[in-house]
Structure 1
Amino acid sequence: MFTQDTIVENILVCLREMVPLSEHVGPDSEMVNDLGLESVKMMDLLMKLEDEYDISIPINILMDVRTPRQLASSLVVYMGKSHGAV
């Protein structure tokens, strides 16, 4: 079972591998404005998370997501709906 905190940590690990100045990566960092992730990098992040959790993440999950914490929250909701309680 995955908690929101473990998902946030996994997202941060992935982002720290992708972002040159990884010391600035935190749960409330804005992925586009603060970390400079463009759409290709966001897709790479989703693919890494799909592999990690063995799920298929719909791209529209990114519509209202700006930070790793928000992404984790959206994933918890999505995984709960798709796979039962998370």
Structure 2
Amino acid sequence: MTDRTDIFDSIATQVAPFNKKGVALTEATTFAGDLEWDSLTVMDFVAAIEDEFDIIITMNMQAEIETVGQLVDAVAKLKTA
């Protein structure tokens, strides 16, 4: 089973090409506020995360994920489901 640190590191790698402002990532980093992503960037990023972890993130789940930490939790939950 993949632990939170591994998931965070993989997510950080996926964030890098989209992190135009060079924001330092923490679990509290927000996608809309800190990274200033628009909806198109979010959709591209979600597709990258789904491919990386071989999961499906529903639209309802996406609406609830605001921070990197919440995404780590969601990926961990989906990987064990």
Percent identity between the two aligned chains: 22
Which residue is equivalent to 2:4? 4
Structure 1 unaligned spans of 5+: 82-86
| Separation in 2, partners of 1:8, 1:42 | 17
**Could you state the TM-score of these two structures normalised by the residue count of structure 1?**
0.79
CA gap 1:57/1:48 in 2 versus in 1, 3 angstroms: same
Helix, strand or coil for the counterpart of 2:64? Answer: coil
What displacement does 1:23 show?
A: 4.1
What displacement does 1:68 show?
A: 0.8
What displacement does 1:78 show?
A: 2.3
Structure 2 counterparts to residues 1-86 of structure 1, below 5 A = 1-81=1-81
Structure 2 unaligned spans of 5+: none
**Could you state the TM-score of these two structures normalised by the residue count of structure 2?**
0.83
**Range with greater deviation from structure 2 (22-31 or 1-10):** 22-31
Aligned residues: 81
| Separation in 1, partners of 2:45, 2:4 | 17
